[in-house]
Amino acid sequence: MPATIVQTNTTPFAKIDIDPVTLDIIENALRNARIEMDATLVRTAMSPGIREQGDAFPLIADHTGKMIVGQFGSFIGGFLDGFDGTLEDGDMIFLSDPYSCDGAISHSNDWLILLPIFKDGRLIAYTAMFGHMSDIGGKVVGSMPINARSIFEEGVRIPPVKIWKKGEYNDDLMKLVMHQTRKPDWCQADLNALIASCRVAARRVVEMAERFGDDVYVSATQELLARNHRAMKALIGMAIAEEPVSFEDYICDDGMGYGPYKIKCTMWREGEKVVLDFSGTDPQSVASINFFLNENMFKMFFGIYMIMVFDPQILFNDGFYDLIDVRIPEGSLLKPKFPAALSGRTHALGRIFDILGGLLGQKTPEFLNAAGFSSSPHLFYSGNDKKGEWFQLFQIGFGGIPGRPLGDGPDGHSLWPGFTNVPNEFLERYFPLMIERYETEPDSGGAGLHRGGNGIRMTYRFLSPGTISIHDDRWFVPPWGVNGGEPGQRARKILEKADGSEIIVGNKVEDVEVAEGDQLHFITWGGGGWGDPLDRDPALVGKEITQGLVSAEGAKAYGVVANDNGVVDGAATEALRSSMKASRGALSLFNYGPGIDALRASCEAETGLAAPIQPVWQTAEAAE
């Protein structure tokens, strides 16, 4: 049964024609309020994931729950439809269970605060913020067990409850929740930061309504939604064909030895609407790599991708949602059935962006992106330091961003544009470790007219015994190139023991013991290349040799002959390029590398790891 909104003033908002100047002022004020939410968050939170990396996502919505500004798209409509309770002035909702909000948050580490904004007895807006908590209990430090077989192993699950009710704080609830986590100090501070951010946005909304009038403010939000609808309608008509196109990509493994797992999407246009159908996606995993994909969240992913490729000036909001029909099969990797484990959903989340790039560029290859968004690498390190005090680190790493129509992919950047790295000085100050190397991995980006971004080599020296866990992907299936570009290199992890011996570590492992003096070489994947590598300026390749982005040997992928100082041999380069053009044949739109079967055959030789085993349903399909 839907939520009941308790208002002392039920007068409908009047529709007002908004002049362009007023609309522009309100739009930018809302943008600024969203930025102020982020600023409040990072100044109040304590965990490295939120305070330093910005792993939190704000939104400000209209009075019906449609997002006006934000990042992830609005889940509020779906929440209101399923919340069997009241919402009134002074209430604030707290939740973390993905199954209670139809996947609006996609694993239990994300704690969400929802604040309905009332003014003079009327509901005028909503604001919300969710952020990743570094620990919520469960079977492993960090609460993201790779081998979890149900969500009950992943820490505390919080259904929608009122953390504030009619202005009164629910202190007993917070004592109960904080009792479940290994880091109650971080979690309490981070939760307070989410609350403070929402209150800041609520104040700004009320101030705008007081300045311009309630009816003007609400009418402006409706015009912002309508403007977005008009813009997206035009983009869809221009970029999406009526003839279906399909694309598929693979998560390398599930951390339990099985894989790869296919995600497939087919796209076509019906009139002014676009349909995105995930039929053909593999069934849900018994492990934690499932991604409970909320349809509205995917609509926002689609909209952001369209806007960033075709018209970056358009404001992100929920105005275009009725133009998109998302179909996700029940029981698939993207809509698992309760109580499937969800904590490792990051790999599928990242792969969604690669799939969007492969879909949206097939009609217009000049707008294709290569692969490389791909995942969000995690490192966990925990134990007791030499003083006997408990420590635990959760850090998000960065890979290579794909080559793009407009240029090279950034080296070692986040899937999420707003994320930043944890400064090495912060890590060395608060944790028993040293960062020995933090640099780009040469040649890891796929060769192309526009080079794929290089991955990162980050070398940690551990100063106290402890355990580490690693969550990463793109170690088996490489990020593909487009328009003649080459695939990026695959991720790898190497544990160098204090005696100098080396161990190849898997990319999804739990509770690996490390000793004082051990070093972990955490190497991420490179983005795929864009365009013909033989068209890249040889002088630019030579410059990148001097910058450490490309090696002299790696320059040969561009048909460039140069020495270690980046000095290009023009005659030898021309001869090599002529030879390469004569022998390679036609360039392909997508370059996936050697293919799954060939990857299996070469995996151990190239990565030091055994190839994943095909899940049962894959072998059954092959038999048929």
pLDDT in tens, 452-481: 999 999 999 999 999 999 999 999 999 999
Helices (H), 313-414: 346-360
Structural Rg of the chain based on CA atoms? 25
Residue 431 to residue 17: CA distance in whole angstroms:
57
pLDDT of the residue at 217:
98
Q: Is the pLDDT of residue 310 over 70?
A: no
What is the model's pTM? 0.93
Closest C-alpha among 527, 535, 552 to residue 484: 535
- Residue 553 contacts by C-beta under 8 Å, 6 or more apart in sequence? 443
pLDDT of the residue at 607:
84
pLDDT in tens, 100-118: 888 888 899 999 999 999 9
pLDDT in tens, 181-218: 999 999 999 999 999 999 999 999 999 999 999 999 99
Sheet strands side by side (includes 67-70)? 67-70, 56-61, 122-132, 110-119, 92-95, 161-165, 168-169
Closest C-alpha among 134, 158, 154 to residue 146: 154
Residue 360 to residue 239: CA distance in whole angstroms:
7
Q: Is 354 exposed, middle or buried (0-12, 13-18, 19+ CB in 10 A)?
A: buried
pLDDT of the residue at 309:
67
Q: In the numeric block, which tokens belong to residue 289?
A: 């790599």
pLDDT in tens, 568-596: 999 999 999 999 999 998 999 999 988 88
pLDDT in tens, 30-81: 999 999 999 999 899 999 999 888 888 899 999 999 999 987 667 787 788 7
Closest C-alpha among 414, 398, 410 to residue 445: 410
DSSP secondary structure letter of residue 71: S
pLDDT (average), residues 138-154: 96
For the chain, percent of residues with pLDDT exceeding 90: 79
Helices (H), 361-437: 424-430
Residue 597's pLDDT band, with cuts at 50, 70 and 90, is confident
Average pLDDT of the chain? 92
Q: Nearest-5° angle of CA 310, CA 316, CA 318?
A: 120
Q: In the numeric block, which tokens belong to residue 338?
A: 């309760």
pLDDT in tens, 393-423: 999 999 999 999 989 999 998 766 677 888 9
Q: Is residue 339 reached through a cis peptide bond, with omega within 30 degrees of 0 on the bond before it?
A: yes
Residue 529 to residue 450: CA distance in whole angstroms:
6
Instruction: Find out whether 135 and 186 touch, Cβ atoms under 8 Å.
Output: yes
pLDDT in tens, 253-278: 999 999 999 999 999 999 999 999 99
